[in-house]
Amino acid sequence: MAKSRRKSLFKKSLLIYTIIASILCVVFVIYIFVTLKTYEKNQTTTFIKSTIAKLDDDTLKGYLKDNNQNENLLDEYKKQINDKDIKVIKKDENNFEVELNERVLFDVETKYLKTETKLGMFSYELRDITNITPHLERGLIYYDITVPSTYEVSIDGKKAENPVKKEEYKNLDYMYQNDSMPYIVTYEVNNLTKEVDVKVTNEYGKDVSLKKNKFAYKADKNYLSFDTYDEAKEYLSSEVDIWDFAHKWSLFLTNDLSGLSHGYNTIKTYFIDGTEMNRRAYNWAHNIDIMFTSRHTLKNPPFTNEKLSNFTVYSKNAFSCEVYLDKHMVVNGKEQIDTMHDYIYFIKDNNTWKVVNIKAGE
């Protein structure tokens, strides 16, 4: 009987211990959860995002009114400040910017209060927001429209004028010898009260597909692509004999081109004076290395496997294409094939097609 009572008492003690341990575990887990939530909540960027999202209607209306914006834009304003893509960018110790797709919505000034540490490892700064300055200089609704300079932009049927930004196509600086090559330009459309219709046409009068990212529009492509010369030439201001240049350039590189200065006087008609391409040809023709090209003869016909492809038309006066050919030579009684595989870049200069760069093919 006594043994049975002791066994019952042990079971009760074990049960009580288990219940207390379980309660302590739950309390500990809750404490850890609350600590982590507090840590996350008090991260400066999270704190600023939360504060911006909680701005009341009267405050937002005040921002709109102070910047000459219609208060009817309140819903759009609230939509922007609650966008999931909002970012907080630290400018210095106390100052931050709130951005949406690289557009600054607010400048936020903060003041350091103290640093708190939880569980000996989670430290965070407590800060107070001392000032919020809205950025509404361009209005609440506005667009940046980025297209080639030869394209026409219309906003609700009205032609956009005077782009605010102009830059060259990337890695194509050699194409800018005159006005044949277009630039990439950006138009600003500011202080809109509603969404508007944006239409872009290229220099051939055809509608251009646009990619929209929040307030920014960009053309899907800043050029036209074609597989063949027959397709591309329809978009060029005049035809050009690409093979004439390709053959002469290939012959020039092996000292087979007729004309003074090892053929330079013949090939230079394809170049613009003062350009890197012209200097490149001149230096080859006047360098001693050209005298050491292997003695050889050319077979008849000298060229086979000729292919033109990958046409990129930047404007009616600027394009590039891929050129491939095999030149058959006989060196020391043995046939040797000299392959040309290049990208050639053309622009119009004084109404004549000129070559401004040659890049090795891949």
Q: Is the pLDDT score of 256 beyond 70?
A: yes
Q: In the numeric block, which tokens belong to residue 63?
A: 């921002």
Q: What is the pLDDT of residue 318?
A: 98
Local confidence band at 37 (pLDDT 50, 70, 90 cut-offs): very low
pTM (2 d.p.): 0.74
Q: Is 327 exposed, middle or buried (0-12, 13-18, 19+ CB in 10 A)?
A: buried
Going from the C-alpha of 35 to that of each of 24, 39, 44, 113, 236, the distances in angstroms are 16, 6, 16, 19, 67
User: CA 41 to CA 35: how far, in whole Å?
Assistant: 10
User: CA 118 to CA 48: how far, in whole Å?
Assistant: 21
Highest mean pLDDT out of 48-52, 292-296, 344-348: 344-348
Local confidence band at 194 (pLDDT 50, 70, 90 cut-offs): confident
Local confidence band at 24 (pLDDT 50, 70, 90 cut-offs): low
What's the whole-number mean pLDDT along residues 214-241?
94
Q: Is the pLDDT score of 360 beyond 90?
A: yes
Q: What is the pLDDT of residue 101?
A: 73
How do residues 142-155 score in pLDDT, each as one tens digit? Answer: 889 999 999 999 99
Cβ(110)–Cβ(97) below 8 Å: no
Give the rounded distance of the alpha carbon of 330 from its chain centre. 48
What's the whole-number mean pLDDT along residues 215-240?
95
Q: Is the pLDDT score of 181 beyond 80?
A: yes
Q: Is the pLDDT score of 252 beyond 90?
A: yes
What's the whole-number mean pLDDT along residues 37-56?
73
Q: Which amino acid is at 304?
A: T
The whole-chain average pLDDT of the chain stands at 87
What's the whole-number mean pLDDT along residues 128-146?
90
Q: What is the pLDDT of residue 36?
A: 43
Q: Which amino acid is at 198?
A: V
- Spell out the domain ranges in the chain: 2-133, 141-222, 229-360
Local confidence band at 342 (pLDDT 50, 70, 90 cut-offs): very high
Q: What is the pLDDT of residue 215?
A: 81
Q: Is the pLDDT score of 11 beyond 90?
A: no
Identify the sign of the CA torsion 292, 294, 295, 298: negative
Local confidence band at 291 (pLDDT 50, 70, 90 cut-offs): confident
Q: Is the pLDDT score of 28 beyond 60?
A: no
- CATH number of the domain located at residue range(s) 229-360 in this protein: 3.10.450
The β-bridge partners of 103 are: 100
User: CA 145 to CA 79: how far, in whole Å?
Assistant: 22
Q: Is the pLDDT score of 213 beyond 90?
A: no
Phi, psi of 214 (to 5 degrees): 55, -105
Q: What is the pLDDT of residue 204?
A: 96
Q: 162: Cβ–Cβ under 8 A, 6 or more apart, which residues?
A: 187
Nearest by Cα to 109 from 155, 51, 165: 51
| 3-state secondary structure (DSSP) of residue 182 | coil
Q: What is the pLDDT of residue 33?
A: 45
